[in-house]
Amino acid sequence: MEFRLIDRIHARTAQVREDVRLGIGDDAALLAVPAGQELAVAIDTLVEGVHFPHGTAPADIGWKALAVNLSDLAAMGATPAWALLALTLPELPAAAQAARVDGLADGFAQLAQAYGVALVGGDTTRGPFTLSVAVHGFVPPGQALRRDGARAGDLVFVTGTLGDAAAGLQRLAPSTDPDEEKRRGFLRARLNRPQPRVAAGLSLRGRASACIDVSDGLLADLGHLCTASAVGAEIEVERLPLSSALLGSCDEAAAHDYALAGGDDYELCFTVPPALAGEVQADLARLGCGATRIGRIVEAPGVRVCGTEGEWLTPARRGWDHFADDAAR
């Protein structure tokens, strides 16, 4: 189906890997899993209007569709290798469709090449604009980072900064203030071009007791980690890593809300025993993303947040839905 579109994608995503015995063009790809490795596989779907706004540049969509999947592999401590792309496209005039597909493929290929990921197949159909990407990576047996290994006393860390993407989504409109527009540019780039923390995930292998990537918001995803580990966590709001662009674009309370519950961050949230914290933090600083200690693991279930005055904040009290208050700046 859609041979010309598939050809366009194929031509723009020519990443050569020795372990791809047969790539795009047959009924299935043939792939050689390295001896002695486990295969880590993940799939994520982006739907227009749900996971990216209408009007997003095709190259940004193609990048993000792969990035969110590489983020899942990063959170497992896996080395990315192969990807599949199922593309659902609404009708468009031929030239516009070709331009859209070229943009999607170019954005996808840019990130794929950065990580040596080969696009080995996919599917192309008509329908509401949707991309499903499946990724495959390798991890030595028993060394994958999982959600279920956190223990009371472990420290909770997060890579990079939180809340930028969610704030960027609220600031798609250009600002007439050049300084604010510069900040919005940074926040929108964090929304549209997330950088999967692959090197950080590999560095955490054998050291992090648990790991998850932050896609739905820190509180939700740390909550998943805690549930899987049968523990709880205490987070200090003042320790949340916030970019200067975020802090410049909204007040501190709104920045905290974006960081706690905004989502689309694609940073890694992980736990380490205190004895390993220093070396892990130094290594991630060297890798460029850095890691910030935001709290600790406790026995009591649930994620509790300690506010700036030392008071306990609870989702019920705060609502975690404060995006209306600063959207118009």
Residue ranges in 235-294 that form contacts with ligand ADP under rule CB under 6 A: none
CB of 6 to ligand ADP, least distance (A): 5
- Rounded to 5 degrees, φ, ψ at 289 are -80, -25
- Among residues 26 and 309, whose Cβ is nearest to Mg ion? 26
Are the beta carbons of 133 and 66 closer than 8 angstroms?
A: yes
194 binds ligand ADP (CB under 6 A): no
- Among residues 24 and 254, whose Cβ is nearest to ligand ADP? 24
321 annotated as ligand-binding: no
From residue 74 to residue 113, what is the string marking binding to ligand ADP with x (rule CB under 6 A)?
A: -----------x-x--------------------------
239 annotated as ligand-binding: no
Are the beta carbons of 265 and 207 closer than 8 angstroms?
A: no
Give the CA distances from residue 206 to residues 31, 33, 102, 146, in Å, rounded to whole numbers and listed in that order. Answer: 27, 22, 40, 11
- Other Cβ atoms within 10 Å of 181 Cβ, number: 12
**Which range binds ligand ADP by CB under 6 A, 72-80, 118-126, 211-219, 304-312?**
118-126
CB of 13 to ligand ADP, least distance (A): 7
Binder of ligand ADP out of 4, 14, 21, 25 (CB under 6 A)? 25
Amino acid at 174: P
d(C-alpha 74, C-alpha 287), whole Å:
14
24 binds ligand ADP (CB under 6 A): yes
**Which range binds ligand ADP by CB under 6 A, 19-27, 70-78, 282-290, 321-329?**
19-27
Q: Which does 26 bind (CB under 5 to 8 A by kind): Mg ion, ligand ADP, none?
A: ligand ADP
Are the beta carbons of 62 and 103 closer than 8 angstroms?
A: yes
d(C-alpha 202, C-alpha 197), whole Å:
9
From residue 107 to residue 136, what is the string marking binding to Mg ion with x (rule CB under 5 A)?
A: ----------------x-------------
Residue 114, token pair as written in the block: 């950065």
Binder of ligand ADP out of 4, 123, 278, 279 (CB under 6 A)? 123
Are the beta carbons of 43 and 86 closer than 8 angstroms?
A: no
Give the CA distances from residue 302 to residues 72, 97, 101, 221, in Å, rounded to whole numbers and listed in that order. Answer: 23, 47, 44, 12
d(C-alpha 42, C-alpha 75), whole Å:
11
Closest CB to Mg ion: residue number = 123
In DSSP notation, 149-188 reads ---TTPEEEEES-SSHHHHHHTT-SPPSSHHHHHHHHHHH
Amino acid at 294: I
Binder of ligand ADP out of 109, 119, 225, 233 (CB under 6 A)? 119
The DSSP bridge pattern shows strands 38-47 and 130-139 to be antiparallel
- Among residues 29 and 135, whose Cβ is nearest to Mg ion? 29
d(C-alpha 240, C-alpha 306), whole Å:
11
126 annotated as ligand-binding: no
123 annotated as ligand-binding: yes
- Among residues 81 and 84, whose Cβ is nearest to Mg ion? 84
- Other Cβ atoms within 10 Å of 34 Cβ, number: 11
| Diameter over CA atoms, the chain | 62
Total residues interacting with ligand ADP, rule: CB under 6 A: 14
Q: Which residues are annotated as a binding site for substrate?
A: 51, 264, 320
**Binding positions for Mg ion, rule: CB under 5 A:** 123
- Residues in touch with ligand ADP (CB under 6 A): 1, 6, 9, 24-27, 85, 87, 119, 121-124
Annotated binding-site ranges: 27, 44, 51, 72, 122-123, 147, 213, 215-216, 264, 320
